[in-house]
Structure 1
Amino acid sequence: MSFIARTSLALSAPNRIVETAGRSLAYRRFGTGPDLVLCVRLRGTMDSWDPLFLDVLARHFTVTVFDYSGLGLSTGTASYGKREMARDVDDLVSALGLTRVIIGGWSLGGFAAQTFAALHPHKVSHVLAIGTMPPGPMLKPPEPLFLETATKLSNTVADEYILFFEPDSAASRALGDASMARIAARTEPRDHPTPPEVFLRSLQASIEPSGPFPDPDDAYARFYRNTDIPVLALSGDHDIMFPVENWYALNDLWPTLFVVTLPDSGHGPQHQYPEMSAEIIASFVRHTAAR
C-alpha cells in the first residue's frame, strides 16, 4: 500500500448520510478551513475524485464531496438537470448547517456549481469551474469523440486517456496512470458505481438541445456579467468536451473571472496536476474576495 493510501484523508473519510427533502444524500467531509463543496462529473460518484487533489485541498479547506440524488449512495430521483443538481447542493448545504461556501464543480458538476451560485449568491463566496463551460452558447463545440467514449457502457484505460487526459502525450498518459492508481487505492468505505442504464437515462432526460446553458435563456450569463463573486475557470489546453476557448471569450465580459489553462492536458486537469491545481485554487481563494 502506498504512502498516499495509508495517510490519505480522502481515502479514509467515512460515508455519511443526511436526510433532506424526502431522500438521503450521501457525502464525505474532511479537512480544515473554509467550507468547499465539490460537484462531481457525469456518471461520477464520491470515488471518482483523485484523492491527492482532495488531500491537498483539505490542507486549506473543509472539503465536502457528495452523490447527486439517485446516484451512488444517495436515494431519490436521479437527474443531470442543472437546476436539479443545484437543488441537491442547496439541500446538502442547508442540512449540514453551512452558511457560506466555496462551490466547485468538475465537468457536468460545473453546471451544478454555477447554477447554485446564480440561484443562491448569498451562500457562495467563490466559484470553481473545473473542466467545464460557462453559461451561454458554445463558441467552440466539443469533439464528437468525447461523447462517443463517455457513453460507452464501460470504459477502458485507453478510454480514460481520451476522456480526461491528452491521449497523444506520453507524459499526460503517465500522469493519468498515476491518477487512476490513486483512485483505485480506495478499499473501504467505497461508493456504489452509477449503473450505465441510470446515467444514460438521466443524461437523456436532462439534455437541452441548444446547449447546457441555452441561449436565449441567458439569465445565468447575465448573472455572471454582473456578480462580484470571484470565479476561477481551471481547464486543460485540449479539453475535447468543454474547450477552454469558451472561457477566453469572456475575459472582458465577466468582471471577476480568472482563467487558468494547464498545458498538455484534457478534461481532467486537476487529476493530471493534482497538487498544482489544489494550490492554485487555494491561492485564488486566499487572494480574492467579493468586490
Structure 2
Amino acid sequence: MKTKALKTTAAIILAITTFESEAQTAENAKNQFVQIDDAKIAYRQIGKGTPLILANRMRGTLDTWDPLFLNKLAEKNTVIYFDYPGIGYSTGKLPTDFSIVANYVVKFADALKIKKFAMGGWSWGGYVTQTTLIDYPDRVTHGILIGTNPPGKVDLPIQQFWVERALKPINNLEDEEILFFEPASEASRKAAKESHDRIYARPGVVDKIPSEMPVFMEYLKGHEKMKEDKEGRFEKLAGTNVPLLIISGDNDTSVPFENWLPLVKKTKKAQLLVLDEAGHGPQHQYPELSATFTSEFIKYTK
C-alpha cells in the first residue's frame, strides 16, 4: 500500500510539473484576468526571473507577439504581457491619454503584487512605456523601447504608404512585410513569413485584432497628444535615471531610428541598437537576438 501511495504521489507531482512546464511557453500560455477600475484586463505570464511587463503596438493583442521572442525573454525573465482596456481580450475602453494608460499599468503591477519591474513597449506601447517610467520612476527599473518615437516633434515623419497599410481592416502577410519588416530585403521577407507562421499557429488570432476605424482613431488621439508633448516629456525622458534600451530597424518607415539621435545625445542613460535590413518590428525579425540584448541589458545596467 505504501509503495502504491508513493507511486500515486509521484504521478501527481509529475503531472503538476508537466502542466507547469507546458504553461511556461507563449504557444500555450493561458489567459488570466485582473479587474482594474472599470476594466477586466487580460494577460499572460511565462518564465521566471526579473518581472518584465510588455506593452503592445497599435492593434496588437496577446496573440500578436512573436512567440519565439517571448520564449527567449522568458528564459531569464518573468514575462507578463497584457491587452489594453477595450482591446483584444480585455473589457473597458481604450484611454486616449498615455498618463491614464500608465496608471493602468501600475495598478496592474499592484494587482500582481509586483513592486518594481522592467518594461518593454513596441510602437504605441513604446509611448506607454515612456510615460510609465516618467510618471512612476520608482516603479520601472529599465525601459526597452522597440520601434517607437520619442515624445514631441520629430525630424522624420511617418510615411503615408505605411499609414495606409496600418489602417486596413485586416492585414495579410504582404502588409506585414511593409509594416514590420524590410520588403526590399529577401532575408527580411523570409523572416516575416517565419514570424507570421509562428504567430498564426495559435488559432483565433485574427478574431481579437481591432479592425474598425473608431478604435483606430482612439489610438491616434493618444499618438497626437504624445507628438504635441504639452507635458514636456521629451526633456523628462532625456533626464531620466531609468536605463533605456532603444531597439530599431534601419529602415523603419514609420518611426525612423534617426528621430532618437537628439535624445540619445542628451542623456547618458540611453543605448540605441539599430538592426540591419529591418523595419518597424525588429524583435520579430530578430526575435532571439532582440530578446538576448534585452535580457542582458536588464541584467547588467543600473
Q: TM-score, normalised by structure 2?
A: 0.88
Aligned to 1:267: 280
Aligned to 2:245: 232
Distance 1:22 1:151 in 2: 28
- Cα distance, 1:195 vs. partner? 3.4
- Cα distance, 1:252 vs. partner? 1.9
Matched, 1:119 2:132: no
Aligned to 2:300: 287
Aligned to 2:259: 246
Select which of 14, 17, 39 maps to 2:55.
39
SS for the counterpart of 1:233 is strand
Select which of 209, 213, 233 maps to 2:227.
213
Q: Identity of aligned pairs, percent?
A: 38
1:96-142 superposed Cα distances (whole Å, 9 cap, x missing partner): 11100001100000000100110000001000000001123211111
Q: Partner amino acid for 1:128?
A: I
Aligned to 1:3: none
> 1:72-221 to 2 correspondence within 5 Å?
72-187=88-203, 192-208=208-224, 212-215=226-229, 217=230, 219-221=232-234
Q: Name the larger-Rg structure.
A: 2
Given that 2:24 and 2:46 are in contact with CA atoms closer than 8 Å, whether structure 1 keeps it comes out as no
Select which of 82, 94, 100 maps to 1:66.
82
* Misfit runs of 4+, over 3 Å: 187-191, 204-207
Distance 1:73 1:54 in 2: 19
- Cα distance, 1:225 vs. partner? 2.2
Select which of 12, 17, 35 maps to 1:19.
35
Distance 2:215 2:57 in 1: 11
- The structure richer in helix per residue is 2
Distance 1:205 1:214 in 2: 11
- CA-based RMSD of the aligned residues comes to 1.9
> Given the superposition, is the C-alpha separation of residues 146 and 25 from structure 1 closer, same or farther in structure 2, using an over 3 Å criterion?
same
Distance 1:189 1:170 in 2: 26
Q: Partner amino acid for 1:141?
A: P
Moved more, 217-226 or 15-24: 217-226
Distance 2:165 2:60 in 1: 15
SS for the counterpart of 2:203 is coil
- How many residues are matched? 281
- Cα distance, 1:190 vs. partner? 9.3
Distance 2:60 2:263 in 1: 28
1:170-199 superposed Cα distances (whole Å, 9 cap, x missing partner): 110001100000001113899723232452
Q: Partner amino acid for 1:236?
A: G
Distance 1:191 1:32 in 2: 30
Given that 1:47 and 1:191 are in contact with CA atoms closer than 8 Å, whether structure 2 keeps it comes out as no
> Given the superposition, is the C-alpha separation of residues 130 and 98 from structure 1 closer, same or farther in structure 2, using an over 3 Å criterion?
same
Given that 1:165 and 1:176 are in contact with CA atoms closer than 8 Å, whether structure 2 keeps it comes out as yes
Distance 1:7 1:170 in 2: 35
SS for the counterpart of 2:138 is helix
Distance 2:223 2:151 in 1: 15
Q: Partner amino acid for 1:213?
A: K
Distance 1:234 1:269 in 2: 7
Select which of 203, 213, 235 maps to 1:222.
235
Q: TM-score, normalised by structure 1?
A: 0.91
Q: Partner amino acid for 1:212?
A: M
SS for the counterpart of 2:176 is helix
> Given the superposition, is the C-alpha separation of residues 173 and 64 from structure 1 closer, same or farther in structure 2, using an over 3 Å criterion?
same
